């Protein structure tokens, strides 16, 4: 019997014809842009404040502590956050989270203007920001698939990533430019972008309340954990991201590389921060126009392996152009693996469980990003920033090989349909 040719891929015009999805995409872009500027500003601000009285290694450690402070609330609130996304109106949950983020960055801006900013205050704001993000991530992830038909989901995921990555290019560059004037300028700009994201979310008019499964809150939380554990493709995909990026999180040390390794200052720091997003955006643009149809698992593992190798090159580089090139490759490889992971997870997860599964995924992602920053800071304290980057990139490649052996079904995953 002859093979049936695959259906043509739905067009981007069809996807963008869904009004609520367009507002969702706009909120995702504005919120990501704000988060990038805030992250750049807080990392640089912490390093500058710490270097007034501390060594390079101690200051790098404090920069890494911002990541830990932001991650701890995510870890503690993961299960209730996922349950909330599957019980309450997801649009309203996002509005409440954005309110918390606005309050945190506005407090930091006011404190900076009045000369109250300190490493302790930056860490406290990171905790508040982390608590808001703990609830934001699962609600945001679960809301997107409600706004488009299922057949448009792979393309929507690519466009969602495109929103994040384009903001990730503009955000660090804008952050570096704003920091050249004053930290409070970056914080007030972040405030305005979060407010814009709130307007976009408030403009969504469709049904954003999920079907609620019967059972107590604790039962629903346990159900979500059990589902992730049983679905080995889901568990393998998100745990690969956890350990690979946890070890390869050398980008947390960019303030150190910019100031004391490459000697390029705050504007060079902005370029370095934007470089991974440039690579990621190029790959996201390609995926938005040409969603993967075959060999999904192989592409994901290849992406993580290249991510680790590029991290090693970045760590060893002493030239700005080579560091930028390595970060661009790193970002593109990461985008490829993230696209496959997100598409696989969302396609196999029923809507009434998306919040809880997204919450578990978010804590894994949060662990990889935030604890990765902490791990990089700790290793940098022992091995120095260059040693930390080489150690992390090598570890990411080892984890990739190990996971390919432990999760053969994930490695053999083929069609994203």
What pLDDT is attached to residue 195? 95
CA angle at 93 for the pair 92 and 98, rounded to the nearest 5°:
95
CB 371 within 8 A of CB 67: yes
Question: Which architecture, in CATH terms, is 14-207+216-411?
Answer: Up-down Bundle (1.20)
pLDDT-flagged residues of the chain (< 50): 1-8
What pLDDT is attached to residue 5? 42
What pLDDT is attached to residue 218? 62
- What pLDDT digit, counting tens, does each position of 120-158 carry? 899 999 999 888 988 998 888 889 888 888 778 878 877
Side-chain half-sphere CA neighbours of 331 within 13 A: 27
Side-chain half-sphere CA neighbours of 140 within 13 A: 31
Please list, residue by residue across 70-99, b when 16 or more beta carbons sit within 10 angstroms of its beta carbon and e when fewer do: bbbbbeebbbbbbbbbbbbebbebbbebbe
- What pLDDT digit, counting tens, does each position of 349-405 carry? 777 777 777 777 766 665 566 566 666 777 777 888 888 888 888 888 998 889 888
Q: Which pair of tokens denotes residue 27?
A: 């909120």
pTM as predicted: 0.69
What pLDDT is attached to residue 183? 80
């Amino acid at each position: 019997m002859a093979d049936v040719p695959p259906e043509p891929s739905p067009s981007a015009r069809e996807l963008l014809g869904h009004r609520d999805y367009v507002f969702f995409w706009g909120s995702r872009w504005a919120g990501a842009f704000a988060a990038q500027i805030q992250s750049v500003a807080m990392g640089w601000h912490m390093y500058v404040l710490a270097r007034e009285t501390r060594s390079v290694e101690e200051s790098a450690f404090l920069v890494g502590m911002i990541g830990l402070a932001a991650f701890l609330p995510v870890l503690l609130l993961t299960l209730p956050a996922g349950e909330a996304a599957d019980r309450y109106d997801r649009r309203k949950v996002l509005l409440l989270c954005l309110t918390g983020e606005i309050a945190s960055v506005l407090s930091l801006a006011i404190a900076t203007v009045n000369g109250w900013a300190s490493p302790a205050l930056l860490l406290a704001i990171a905790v508040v920001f982390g608590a808001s993000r703990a609830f934001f991530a699962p609600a945001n992830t679960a809301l997107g698939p409600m706004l488009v038909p299922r057949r448009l989901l792979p393309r929507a995921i690519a466009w969602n990533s495109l929103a994040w990555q384009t903001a990730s290019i503009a955000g660090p560059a804008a952050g570096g430019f704003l920091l050249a004037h004053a930290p409070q300028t970056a914080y007030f700009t972040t405030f305005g972008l979060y407010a814009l994201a709130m307007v976009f979310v408030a403009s969504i008019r469709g049904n954003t309340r999920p079907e609620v499964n019967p059972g107590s809150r604790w039962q629903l939380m346990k159900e979500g954990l059990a589902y992730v554990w049983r679905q080995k493709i889901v568990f393998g995909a998100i745990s690969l991201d956890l350990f690979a990026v946890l070890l390869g999180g050398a980008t947390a040390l960019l303030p150190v590389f910019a100031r004391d390794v490459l000697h390029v200052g705050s504007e060079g720091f902005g370029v370095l921060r934007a470089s991974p997003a440039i690579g990621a955006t190029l790959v996201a643009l390609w995926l938005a126009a040409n969603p993967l149809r075959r060999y999904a698992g192989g592409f994901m593992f290849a992406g993580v392996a290249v991510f680790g190798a590029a991290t090693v090159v970045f760590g060893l580089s002493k030239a700005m152009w080579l560091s930028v090139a390595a970060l661009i490759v790193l970002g593109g490889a990461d985008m490829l693996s993230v696209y496959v992971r997100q598409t696989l997870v969302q396609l196999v997860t029923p809507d009434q469980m998306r919040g809880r599964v997204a919450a578990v995924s978010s804590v894994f992602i949060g662990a990889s990003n935030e604890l990765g920053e902490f791990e990089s800071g700790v290793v940098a304290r022992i091995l120095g920033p260059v040693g930390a980057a080489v150690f992390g990139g090598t570890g990411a490649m080892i984890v990739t090989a190990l996971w390919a052996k432990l999760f053969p079904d994930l490695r053999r995953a083929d069609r994203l349909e």
